[in-house]
């Protein structure tokens, strides 16, 4: 589904966000990307969605070569990807139903099919009873569930989430992660960036840890393992 080969990203400011990153994520995987603030997590997500292009190296997402693909194909790529953000990014003037439907309207889904899909995904996130509420009438956790429904409405192959629990309390965060896990069980590939390593350790999933733009850990079924982390660090080389 996703392949990063020797990816470097240097912003115009001169900031080296990624400094030689390699990994592969297969169809159907559930992967956490963890690391401190400023380590390069959001940059990595933006290379998957092609909000940014790599400075060097090769990114492949669902057969699309990110650096070389034509701009005209970007909407086709994005249709395969559901995106979830820390700040939910709902449209405040639209109802829950309209927010979710909007993602399907943009890609031209036929009205009947879209209405059915909205009903289904609002059911998945358990918010059918709030379909006609406005986003600001909902709790943070509910707003994020609307955003998850919106990410699913086009039945994407991949869901990427950048700090989806960053604005939520620990208990709500757990339920949001459980929901994403459930979506993954139905075959959707899920990639989540977070700096909440406690939450991640409890979930026993693959964890890719980045530090200063380098991968320092890539473990299946991870619990925290300091020894492996230290070994990976010495292989990856010193800090910038």
How far apart are CB 194 and ligand ADP at their closest, in Å? 10
* Only segment of 5-13, 41-49, 114-122, 174-182 that touches Mg ion (CB under 5 A): 41-49
42 binds Mg ion (CB under 5 A): yes
Q: Which is nearer to ligand ADP, 35 or 54 (CB)?
A: 35
Interface with ligand ADP (CB under 6 A):
11, 13, 15, 17, 35, 37-43
Name beta bridge partners: 58.
5
Q: Going by DSSP bridges, is the β-strand pair 189-194/30-34 parallel, antiparallel, or unpaired?
A: parallel
Sign of the Cα pseudo-torsion (51, 53, 54, 59, in order): positive
Q: Measure the CA–CA gap between 181 and 232, rounded to whole angstroms.
A: 27
Partner touching 20 among Mg ion, ligand ADP, none, CB below 5 to 8 Å by kind: none
Residue among 85 and 97 whose Cβ is closer to Mg ion: 85
Residues 91, 41, 227, CA angle at the centre, nearest 5°? Answer: 140
Burial class (CB in 10 A: 0-12, 13-18, 19+), 88: buried
To Mg ion, the closest distance from the beta carbon of 210 in angstroms equals 11
Could you say which of Mg ion, ligand ADP, none residue 39 binds, taking C-beta under 5 to 8 angstroms by partner kind?
A: ligand ADP
Query: Parallel, antiparallel, or unpaired for β 2-10 and 214-219?
Result: unpaired
Q: Which is nearer to Mg ion, 54 or 164 (CB)?
A: 164
CB of 81 to ligand ADP, least distance (A): 18
Distances (CA, A) of 211 to 36, 174, 217: 7, 24, 9
- Applying CB under 5 A, the span of 38-46, 97-105, 126-134, 165-173 interacting with Mg ion comes to 38-46
Residue nearest to Mg ion (CB): 42
Closer to Mg ion by CB, 42 or 189: give it: 42
Per partner kind, with CB cut-offs from 5 to 8 A, the member of Mg ion, ligand ADP, none near residue 38 is ligand ADP
Q: Which does 215 bind (CB under 5 to 8 A by kind): ligand ADP, Mg ion, none?
A: none
Q: Which tokens belong to 141?
A: 């956790």
Give me the least distance between CB of 34 and ligand ADP, in Å please. Answer: 9
Please identify, using beta-carbon distances, which residue of 13 and 71 lies nearer to ligand ADP. 13
Give the residue with the Cβ less far from Mg ion, 21 or 122. Answer: 21
**What is the C-alpha separation between 227 and 215, in angstroms, rounded?**
15
Distance of CA 11 to the CA centre of its chain: 21
* Residue reference for tokens 């982390």: 229
Radius of gyration (C-alpha) of the chain in whole angstroms: 18
**Where do the DSSP E strands lie in 74-203?**
81-85, 158-162, 189-194
Q: Which residues bind Mg ion (CB under 5 A)?
A: 41-42
């Amino acid at each position: 589904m996703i392949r990063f080969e020797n990816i470097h990203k240097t912003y115009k400011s001169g900031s080296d966000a990624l400094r030689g990153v390699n990994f592969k994520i297969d169809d159907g995987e559930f992967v956490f990307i963890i690391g401190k603030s400023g380590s390069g997590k959001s940059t990595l997500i933006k290379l998957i969605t092609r909000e940014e292009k790599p400075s060097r190296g090769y990114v492949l997402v669902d057969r699309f070569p990110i650096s070389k693909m034509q701009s005209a194909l970007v909407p086709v790529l994005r249709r395969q990807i559901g995106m979830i953000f820390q700040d939910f990014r709902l449209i405040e003037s639209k109802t829950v139903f309209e927010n979710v439907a909007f993602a399907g309207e943009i890609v031209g889904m036929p009205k009947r099919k879209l209405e059915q899909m909205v009903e289904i995904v609002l059911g998945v996130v358990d918010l059918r009873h709030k379909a006609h509420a406005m986003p600001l009438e909902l709790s943070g956790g509910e707003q994020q569930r609307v955003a998850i429904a919106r990410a699913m409405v086009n039945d994407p192959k991949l869901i990427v989430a950048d700090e989806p629990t960053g604005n939520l309390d620990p208990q709500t965060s757990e339920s949001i992660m459980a929901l994403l896990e459930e979506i993954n069980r139905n075959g959707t590939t899920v990639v989540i960036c977070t700096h909440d390593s406690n939450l991640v350790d409890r979930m026993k999933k693959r964890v890719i840890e980045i530090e200063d733009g380098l991968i320092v850990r890539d473990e299946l079924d991870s619990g925290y393992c300091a020894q492996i982390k230290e070994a990976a660090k010495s292989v990856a080389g010193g800090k910038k």
